Amino acid sequence: MVDGLSRLACVRVECFAAAAVERCEPGLREQPLAVVTGAPPVTRVVEANAGARAAGVRPGLAEAEALVRCPTLVRRPASPEAETAARHALLEACLAVSPRLEDAAPGLVHADLAGLERLFGDDTEIGRRFRRHARAVGLEARVGIAGTRAAAGVAARVGPPVHVLAPGGERAALATVALGALEWRAELAATFARWGLATLGDLGALPRHGVGARLGPAGLAAHDLAVGVDRTPFRVWTPPPFWEEAQGLDWEIDTVPALVPVLERVLARLCARLAVAHLLIEVLEVRFALVSGGHHARSVALAAPLGEAGPIVALLALEIEASPPPAAVTGVAVSARVVPRQAVPGGLWRPPVPAPRDLATVLTRLTLLVGGANVGTPVLVDSHRPDDYTLAPFDGHAAEDDAPSAERGGETTASAVAGPLALRRLRPPRPVQVDTHDGRPARVRDASGLDAVIETAAGPWRLSGRWWDTPAWAHDEWDIALPDHTVWRLSHDRLNNQWLLTALYD
């Protein structure tokens, strides 16, 4: 908003279908490229990049004629998946700058700039920011900024890559733009030439109702563009609840090593989009299109939210090896459920948190060695059994410094002389042999050859649970002192008449 005037930006990616393919294969940016559709011999060009257009290749040409005009032309089939992913990537890149967007067309985004000058500076700096974010997701964009979407759209097509029209001077600036600098339908361009119109100013000087009467809705839209007037409301775009990236294949892939490079490219593009939006992947879903016509899907919940492709690809490779697709793969699509990237301050007395990439690598190796069911965070179960715990998915956050407890190795018992003692649990507990006298432990022996008289025994503390079910348990716990001044905790399994050394006092 400048002096009460609205300011809008048009972010435009030229030759969008070709740009979507170049985003999947960056090496094609330096070569003449045509996106084609149809089956030979009636294959036709639907889009061409700047290099191909310089050689005379235009949309609508037969592929054979395009090859005659440009013998070095690289052809790629049209990919709706790549175009959809690129369209969302551009919108998400713009969303990192402005919260209010309009998805005008593939490769064309309108953004409301109200209030952004207080965050990013003047219009030119905002336009540069749009271009940087678009480039970060693999798209080269032009930006026009003006008081209306129509004027901003013309500014994005002509002039410098960031073209700002002065507030209130849009119509005068548009008047000098040649009609040939914009893309019109062939019959409309022929009519303008027949009428002797050379610039947008010439078209805007004609009465609007007369242009509409002769050319219909297309003429009215052209006249509105010439004078920089918006006739339709701003339709705000709402981002989808998930993020997706896809790529079709020109050949079948039936081995995991051949599939990994494809996953790397697809995930690299997805992670680039997430980095711009300051998001991390929490759950990743992979969907393979099969040569049989079916699909094979896998869902992977990450141990810690990640935004780097390398560790995720390593984990996906393990998942695919464990459950490979039943047929050769012809397409790959990945969708992610995301969480915001958060800055977590480190504790003053805690070691630094490992980098997510290093942490994910370690977790992946542990999963490969011991299985996914044996990797996680220990969590206490609401039970009277002292050693009852389970494993929950590891989230990477350190436990709070609560009061020490037995399950965390910090159980204490007061001692009048030596102060508190720490109870160190043994997992698994060690079997021992115990002689009793009048129901109290009197002598203990273990597999190491220890044979000692128990000087003091405190207890029993009787615990039981699950008496109504098959896994019932009933224990008596004793704290014993030995002649060498060590203190043990013994557990007597009353159901199996078995003694166990469960913990040591430090």
Q: Taking residues 317-333, what's their average pLDDT?
A: 87
Same domain, yes or no, for 117 and 167? Answer: yes
Tell me what pLDDT residue 447 has.
83
Task: Report how many domains make up the chain.
Answer: 3
Q: How confident is the model at residue 323 (pLDDT cuts 50, 70, 90)?
A: confident
Average pLDDT, the chain: 84
Mean pLDDT across the stretch 12-26?
92
Q: In this structure, which long-range contacts are made by residues 384-391, counting pairs with CB atoms below 8 Å and at least 24 apart in sequence?
A: 384/463, 384/464, 384/465, 385/463, 385/465, 385/473, 386/463, 386/477, 386/502, 387/425, 387/427, 387/502
Lowest mean pLDDT among 5-9, 38-42, 420-424: 420-424
Find all residues with CB under 8 Å of 73, minimum gap 6, and list them: 32, 33, 34, 52, 55, 57, 66, 67
- 114 lies in some domain: yes
pLDDT beyond 70 at 360: no
Which CATH number fits the domain that encloses residue 256? 3.30.1490.100
Residue 345 vs residue 188, higher pLDDT: 188
Q: Is residue 367 part of a domain?
A: no
Top-confidence residue, 418 or 403: 418
pLDDT in tens, 249-277: 878 888 888 888 989 999 999 888 888 88
Q: In this structure, what token pair is assigned to residue 94? A: 């713009």
How far is Cα 195 from Cα 363, in angstroms, rounded to an integer?
Answer: 71
Higher pLDDT residue, 383 or 258? 258
Of the chain, the percentage scoring pLDDT greater than 90 comes to 38
My answer on whether 164 and 217 are in the same domain is yes
**Confidence (pTM):** 0.62
Beta bridge pairs of residue 76: 35
Q: Is residue 348 part of a domain?
A: no
pLDDT value at 30 more than 70: yes
Structural tokens at position 304 = 């810690």
Contacts 24+ apart (CB under 8 A), 202-209: 203/179, 204/171, 204/174, 204/175
pLDDT exceeds cutoff 80 at 13: yes
Claim to verify: residue 259 and residue 208 sit in the same structural domain = no
Residue 3 forms part of a structural domain: no
The answer on pLDDT for 434 being more than 70 is: yes
Residue scoring higher pLDDT (137 or 368): 137
Does a structural domain hold residue 398? no
For range 400-405, the mean pLDDT: 42
The predicted pLDDT at position 390 comes to 80
Q: Where are the alpha helices (DSSP H) in 96-239?
A: 117-120, 123-136, 149-157, 170-175, 186-195, 200-204, 208-227
Boundary (domain end) residue, out of 340, 364, 384: 340
Q: Note whether 140 and 37 are within 8 A (CB).
A: no
Domain hosting 309: range is 243-340
CATH of residue 57: 3.30.70.270
Same domain, yes or no: 195 and 251: no
Helix ranges restricted to H, 345-495: 356-370
Q: What torsion do the CA atoms of 64, 69, 71, 73 make, to the nearest 10 degrees?
A: -80
pLDDT score recorded for residue 455: 86
Judge whether 300 and 315 are in contact, CB under 8 Å: yes
Q: Tell me what pLDDT residue 98 has.
A: 93
Least confident of 341-355, 406-420, 462-476: 406-420
Q: Are residues 151 and 94 in the same domain?
A: yes
Average pLDDT value for residue range 360-375 = 75
The answer to whether residues 384 and 462 touch, using CB atoms and an 8 Å cutoff, is no
Q: How far apart are CA 270 and CA 263, in angstroms?
A: 10
CA distance 93 to 274: 9
Residue 500 domain-assigned? yes
